[in-house]
Structure 1
Amino acid sequence: MNQTKLNRRAFLKRIGIGSAAYVIASQLMPLSVSAATEEGGTAININDFLNNGQTIQDAINAVQNAGGGELFFPPGVYRTDRTLQITGDNVILRGANRDSSIITASGSLTNQNLLLVRKAGGRILNTKLVDLTLTSDVRYVFGNTAGSATAGPDISTMNHAVVLDGSHNVIIDNVRIHHFNGDGISFQDTVSSGGPDQTTLNNCVLSLCRDGVSMNNTGHSTHIYGGSYEFNTRYGINTGGRNSVFIKDADIEQNLNVGIRISHQSNIVIRDCTFENNARGFANDSTQRTHIWVGDYDVARSIVIDGCFFHGRSMRSLIRVDKADGVSIKNNFVDFANQFGTANGAFVQTSAACRNIFVDEFSYNVTPNVRRISNPQYALSDIKPSSVTALPAPNEAIRGFMVRVEASAGQADALYMCVKDADGSYKWGRINMTF
């Protein structure tokens, strides 16, 4: 086993923001077209509408009525007292950058969503959200204290920040979604069977929501690249019963329940992600104390967890696999996990309902006498044992390892496992093979 300490990827930092001007959207507005977008279509500056006493929704409607285009939000805080709705194709909402272009609630939006992407009777094509912050409380975004001159109301009873319903080809790029009672991004399928498909999240921050992203049994062909999914009150990323989800280079940390939940889905790849201190809401030795939970509802198939970094206190396991067929867990690194020495602690916790689980060696920076996988009878681990010309001295650190002693010409190889004998000593036991 490779015990070399790896360098930890830097976590994305939560960015504090200074003061910004407040722009209040409340009334109706006339159309004002300022330029053409890089992708073609209408380009509108939101201030051309707001300065005439009109609303964000009417600016969105103007873009839609023009057949698509871009609505640009210069630096500022833009308030809406109603749910914003995108009902047409090819609509882009773009800010100057997510540190300074902020859309937030004003007035009473109790149990309502901030942005709804939905139209009756079919899919919405080609929606983009770029370089924005969506929040229900600007106090925490700006680092202000409650009651300061720039605080604004805390609409903590709001529901989801963004609802994608029947959408196709949605790109959400460099967007912060912060402080919602519901989910940061909620996938739904009330208007189109299967719900959203081909959704891409790039370098987004989803924090202090219920789930950062909740796919709700939808979300075919979802790609998540980079960004942070942190401090959510349930799951960082919650996948459901649809296929093909790819998650790469994301930081998933400090979520109250599990970092990533795969309830019953197929073809999921989690690669090069960082997991730290998830499952804070569970008791120390509960089985849910895990970073990734696979198949808690029904069988999950074709799951790959590759090249991830794990750090967690009082974890029951790094990865819990309840119901699954075809899981590959390889090339991962454990920086810290201080409860793996308990009777039930393991890097990977499996159950009798699992089939075809392959666990390659973990590298680690923790005490090496932890159990690497629980219930190993349900998993294949290191299916190609290392070859040696002579057996090394047996000891506790390599207990359970298998090696293949290569034979000379005309003789068969021999397979051995390092085991603890009844007297407490460690020995190599030869495994009999029938040909």
Structure 2
Amino acid sequence: MKKAGIDRRTFLKGMGLGGLAYLIGSHFRAPAQVTAATAQTARSLNIVDYLNSNRSIQNAIDDVQAAGGGELYFPPGLYYTDDTLVIKGDNVILKGANKTSSIIAARSFDISKNLLEIRKSSGRIANVKIQDLTLTSDARKASARNNDTSFYNHGIVLDASHNVEFQNIRVDHFNGDGLRFEDRNAEGGPDQVIITNSTFVACMNGLNTNDTGHSTHIYGGTFEFNAKHGINTGGRNSVFIKDADLEQNHMAGLRISHSSNIVVRDCTFENNARKVSLSDKKHAHIVVGDTAVAQNIVIDSCYFHARKMRYLISVERGNHISIANNFVDYADQFGTTAGAFVQVGQGCRNIFCDDFSYRQKPKVKRLSNHQYAVSDLKPSAIPSLPVPNESLRGFITRVEGGSGKRDAFYVCIKTENGGYKWARINLTDL
């Protein structure tokens, strides 16, 4: 007769100590692939035809929208605009040959303008795609290339929308943000935004989600040399960042001010916080919870360049945060011996921090405040022990004592003969 058992997931649901691991394994599982279902129609226009007829880029966009959607193609070349370009219709694609040769540039100086706005006056805009283009307000691209002046405010403003994709684009040299989310018509901000293999450089923030919308997916790409952060996210629900390079930003490469459900995986962080004092807690590659509690965050399998840094990750206010499987290079060259791999503030709970791997022996602590990191990680009570098995190996649980009996703690271990059993933990009263 087969013994009744319990699988690893069911077991972890009942365990406080394993609860964070369960949270990581289920709530933070990223989709295998996410794509924007931008409508492809028979309508395809070439911008050259419009410019040769003394018509503007906006005229071409308007014609695509009037047809119900389609593609506007930009062959290799430099295309000027003297005003903000606006996409306000669904199913619109702006596509270049590639982001190094097809360039849309601001020509007139007006820092009150944005280069491209994707928004409707009311309601949500749907199924828009920007692909293989550079958007810039760098005066060097718009004139004699003899200075480094930004002409416009934000590069792209994305308002209330659904299913918008930015693929293989470059946005550079804006006084404001490279890509900025907004919600002016109270529709909830952008929803289901995919950013793939794109570059955001020399802006205020490379990407600023601006406390609005939800479900943003970032795959690959570079966020560098921005005056504040590579990515600034706050108030967002469900952000997934994978294989991105966040480097050379003047403040933290990634700021998670007060967000929920954020996964950062396989990313590279190098030479950030260039304009932040070494004595500042924000002298870090990643800053979490600096304005309010940020919760349900995973930072996993990332590369951190530690030289000249005070912290790799600074968590000021956080709850349910997992930091695991990360690698540190130049671990022996931190900028200050008062630093740590992870700075944990007093407003933190349920911080799980696995040890970092590194080549050089670090001269700083791995974790600044262990007491706050493990304050709420405790095994929950279960009525009886499940059948031990390989998937439960190493987990600890508590069997609650009945009336007049003390609690008992057990750990699942592997035995000499290759089987598994529960071993009771002997406790010594203080």
What range is the shorter-chain TM-score in?
Answer: 0.7 to 0.9
Q: 1:434 deviation in Å?
A: 5.7
- Matched residues in 2 for 1:72 and 1:253: separation? 32
CA displacement, residues 383-417 of structure 1 (integer Å, 9 cap, x when unaligned): 99x99xxxxxxxxxxxxxxxx999999996779xx
Distance of aligned partners of 1:357 and 1:304 in 2 relative to their CA distance in 1, 3 Å threshold: same
- Matched residues in 1 for 2:81 and 2:203: separation? 19
Equivalent position SS for 1:353: strand
Which residue of 186, 189, 200 corresponds with 2:183?
189
Q: How many residues align?
A: 360
Which residue of 201, 215, 219 corresponds with 1:207?
201
**Residue in 2 aligned with 1:313?**
307
Tell whether 2:224 aligns with 1:224: no
Amino acid at match of 1:328: S
Distance of aligned partners of 1:352 and 1:80 in 2 relative to their CA distance in 1, 3 Å threshold: same
Equivalent position SS for 2:371: helix
Which residue of 165, 190, 208 corresponds with 1:171?
165
Amino acid at match of 2:65: Q
Tell whether 2:130 aligns with 1:129: yes
Q: Which runs of 4+ in 1 moved over 6 A?
A: 381-384, 404-415
**Residue in 1 aligned with 2:97?**
96
- Matched residues in 2 for 1:223 and 1:58: separation? 31
Q: Which has the higher helix share?
A: 2
Amino acid at match of 1:293: V
Structure 1 segment 259-298 matched on structure 2, within 5 A: 259-298=253-292
Check whether the contact 1:110–1:155 (CA below 8 A) recurs between aligned residues.
no
- Matched residues in 2 for 1:175 and 1:244: separation? 23
Distance of aligned partners of 1:411 and 1:90 in 2 relative to their CA distance in 1, 3 Å threshold: closer
Amino acid at match of 2:135: L
TM-score, normalization by structure 2: 0.78
Equivalent position SS for 1:283: coil
Q: 1:288 deviation in Å?
A: 1.1
- Matched residues in 2 for 1:348 and 1:316: separation? 9
**Residue in 2 aligned with 1:47?**
48
**Residue in 2 aligned with 1:349?**
343
Distance of aligned partners of 1:140 and 1:371 in 2 relative to their CA distance in 1, 3 Å threshold: farther
- Matched residues in 2 for 1:273 and 1:102: separation? 28
Tell whether 2:115 aligns with 1:114: yes
Amino acid at match of 1:347: F
**Residue in 2 aligned with 1:3?**
none
Distance of aligned partners of 1:243 and 1:412 in 2 relative to their CA distance in 1, 3 Å threshold: closer
**Residue in 2 aligned with 1:64?**
65
TM-score, normalization by structure 1: 0.77
Tell whether 2:369 aligns with 1:368: no
Unaligned runs of 5+ in 2: 1-37, 380-392, 395-411
Equivalent position SS for 2:252: coil
What is the aligned-residue identity percentage? 55
- Matched residues in 2 for 1:134 and 1:339: separation? 38
Equivalent position SS for 2:299: strand
Distance of aligned partners of 1:433 and 1:190 in 2 relative to their CA distance in 1, 3 Å threshold: farther
Distance of aligned partners of 1:410 and 1:294 in 2 relative to their CA distance in 1, 3 Å threshold: closer
Calculate the aligned-residue CA RMSD, in Å: 3.0
Unaligned runs of 5+ in 1: 1-36, 142-146, 388-403, 416-431
Check whether the contact 2:337–2:363 (CA below 8 A) recurs between aligned residues.
no
- Matched residues in 1 for 2:130 and 2:210: separation? 21
Check whether the contact 2:105–2:141 (CA below 8 A) recurs between aligned residues.
no
Distance of aligned partners of 1:378 and 1:138 in 2 relative to their CA distance in 1, 3 Å threshold: same
Check whether the contact 1:81–1:109 (CA below 8 A) recurs between aligned residues.
no
Tell whether 2:261 aligns with 1:252: no
CA displacement, residues 10-57 of structure 1 (integer Å, 9 cap, x when unaligned): xxxxxxxxxxxxxxxxxxxxxxxxxxx992241000011110001000
Check whether the contact 2:331–2:362 (CA below 8 A) recurs between aligned residues.
no
Q: 1:370 deviation in Å?
A: 2.4
